[in-house]
Amino acid sequence: MENKILQFKTNINCASCLASVTPFLDQAEGIENWEVDIHKKDKMLTVKTEGITEKEVIEAVEKAGFKIESIEK
């Protein structure tokens, strides 16, 4: 499976939000690394994949209680 960079718009917007979502993304299989730019208006989540699907990333973030939408490249 090829590694990809997926990007999403989220409402993860502070250090506390990051702390809440971290266990969900860290436990998700197939993520090499991820980061949220909480300093920009769009609160972009960037995920470097190792096999995880876009749908699985969305499910993990929603399970953590946040809104997320895919950004088409």
Residue with token string 């499976």: 1
Task: Compute the average pLDDT of residues 38-57.
Answer: 94
Residue that wins the pLDDT comparison between 72 and 13: 13
pTM: 0.92
| pLDDT score for 72 | 73
- 3 state DSSP class of 35: strand
CA distance 65 to 50: 24
Predicted pLDDT at 1? 57
> Whose CA is closest to 44, among 5, 3, 16?
5
For residues 28 and 53, the answer to whether their CB atoms sit within 8 Å is no
Over residues 53-66, the pLDDT tens digits come to 999 999 999 999 99
